[in-house]
């Protein structure tokens, strides 16, 4: 009934009358419904919203039906882009989110966190290098220490990462994120260096790579996304006034080994990523002829969650797992 547009056309005739006289009494609202509303507003998907708050999908659907009845509005309408909020729901989203945050902070300030029983979902912002280098290690560690916790991984956007984490859309950002400064805490995990990969039967490069060869050879590079390794590399080259001949520019690091295996181009990648390529027999890993400074891999979290018990446990877990 509530997903039927014709139902809401007829209902809309009464809304202007009821809304003007309608004052919501908090005693008449189950606060769990506001938590469900907040999850739907953030996820735009009933299943994902249910996962976010630890409900089943039918329970979240039932919560949405109760919310629609309570507010006399469809609130979230199914579209090809997911469950999109109505104008009325958009107006409620901000105040409800802030109310949920205040209540969560107040009620959970002194509460502990039990990773062995928690079924919450945690979200990491990672670069593609992070997905390859340490995501499997994180998942394996969580399976043994927090078996019911779900994991979501998101690529850091070029813009808006600060706002996204401040809004609670990510628990930790792990990697090189130079823009996460004001309002954020950070912790060093480990350092890495750059190495070069080349096709094993390359026509001019054998067991070592000279500076002249590095400059003269075509390169496969990653287009700058502002998410870490690629940006750091370009800054270092610029400071040393070195220019690479670019054969191809790609969106992320993961395709570089395949390109290098099948062409005469070389690529410069983090050494921990290169360590994962040892099974690829047509690739050779060489020391870079350029003395690149080591890069620092850090975990970042927003100040809003600095005292949150779950976030604190997660940070300590990541540090124990990855810290040098």
CATH number at 288 reads 3.40.190.10
Q: What is the pLDDT along the chain (324 residues), one digit of tens a residue?
A: 545 555 444 444 444 434 444 445 666 778 889 999 999 999 999 999 998 888 899 999 999 999 999 999 999 999 998 999 999 999 999 999 988 888 877 776 556 789 999 999 999 999 888 998 999 999 999 999 999 999 999 988 878 899 999 988 999 999 989 889 899 999 999 999 999 999 999 999 999 999 999 989 999 998 865 555 666 677 778 888 888 889 999 988 889 999 999 999 999 999 999 998 888 889 999 999 988 888 899 999 999 999 898 999 999 999 999 986
- Judged by DSSP in three states, 179 sits in coil
Domain identity same for 161 and 187: yes
The reported pLDDT for the residue numbered 65 is 95
Domain that holds residue 77: 5-108
Domain identity same for 218 and 142: no
The reported pLDDT for the residue numbered 227 is 52
- Judged by DSSP in three states, 218 sits in strand
Domain identity same for 170 and 182: yes
Domain identity same for 157 and 283: no
Residue 113 resides in a domain:
no
Token pair of 203, please? 């026509």
Residue 164 resides in a domain:
yes
User: Of 108, 130, 149, which residue constitutes the final position of a domain?
Assistant: 108
Residue 281 resides in a domain:
yes
Residue 230 resides in a domain:
yes
The reported pLDDT for the residue numbered 237 is 80
Domain identity same for 310 and 185: yes
Tally of domains within the chain? 3
Neighbours of 214 (CB within 10 A): 19
Task: Give the global pTM.
Answer: 0.65
Q: What kind and span of H or E run contains 311?
A: helix 309-322
Domain identity same for 179 and 308: yes
Provide the 8-state DSSP code for 92.
H
Residue with tokens 């909020």: 85
Domain identity same for 206 and 234: yes
Residue 116 resides in a domain:
no
Determine contact, residues 96/34, Cβ cutoff 8 Å: yes
The reported pLDDT for the residue numbered 264 is 96
What CA–CA distance (Å, rounded) separates 244 from 217? 8
What CA–CA distance (Å, rounded) separates 250 from 143? 33
Residue 38 resides in a domain:
yes
Domain identity same for 301 and 161: yes
Residue 267 resides in a domain:
yes
- Judged by DSSP in three states, 78 sits in strand
CATH assignment at residue 96? 1.10.10.10
The reported pLDDT for the residue numbered 239 is 82
Domain identity same for 98 and 243: no
Residue 49 resides in a domain:
yes
Domain identity same for 275 and 199: yes
The β-bridge partners of 76 are 85
Provide the 8-state DSSP code for 28.
G
Domain identity same for 145 and 211: no
Token pair of 89, please? 């729901």
Domain identity same for 202 and 287: yes
């Amino acid at each position: 009934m509530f997903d039927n547009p014709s139902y809401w056309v007829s209902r809309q005739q009464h809304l202007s009358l009821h809304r003007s006289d309608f004052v919501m009494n908090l005693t008449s609202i189950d606060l769990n419904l506001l938590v469900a509303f907040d999850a739907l507003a953030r996820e735009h998907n009933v299943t994902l919203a249910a996962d976010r708050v630890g409900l089943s999908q039918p329970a979240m659907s039932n919560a949405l039906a109760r919310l629609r009845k309570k507010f006399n509005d469809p609130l979230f309408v199914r579209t090809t882009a997911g469950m999109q909020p109505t104008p009325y729901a958009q107006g409620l989203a901000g105040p409800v989110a802030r109310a949920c945050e205040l209540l969560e902070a107040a009620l959970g300030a002194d509460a502990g966190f039990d990773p062995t029983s928690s079924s919450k979902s945690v979200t990491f912002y990672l670069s593609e290098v992070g997905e390859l280098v340490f995501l499997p290690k994180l998942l394996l560690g969580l399976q043994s220490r927090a078996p019911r916790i779900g994991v979501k991984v998101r690529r850091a956007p070029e813009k808006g990462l600060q706002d996204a984490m401040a809004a609670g859309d990510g628990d930790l950002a792990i990697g090189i994120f130079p823009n996460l400064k004001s309002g954020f805490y950070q912790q060093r995990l480990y350092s890495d260096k750059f190495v070069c990969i080349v096709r094993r039967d390359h026509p001019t490069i054998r067991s070592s790579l000279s500076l002249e060869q590095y400059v003269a050879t075509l390169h496969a590079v990653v287009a700058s996304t502002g998410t870490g390794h690629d940006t750091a590399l370009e800054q270092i080259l610029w400071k040393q006034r070195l220019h690479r001949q670019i054969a191809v520019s790609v969106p992320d690091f993961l395709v570089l080994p395949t390109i290098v295996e099948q062409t005469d181009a070389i690529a410069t990648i983090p050494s921990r990523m290169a360590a994962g390529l040892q099974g690829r027999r047509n690739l050779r890993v060489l020391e870079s002829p350029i003395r690149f400074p080591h890069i620092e891999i850090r975990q970042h979290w927003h100040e809003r969650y600095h005292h949150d018990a779950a976030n604190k446990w997660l940070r300590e877990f990541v540090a124990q797992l990855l810290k040098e």
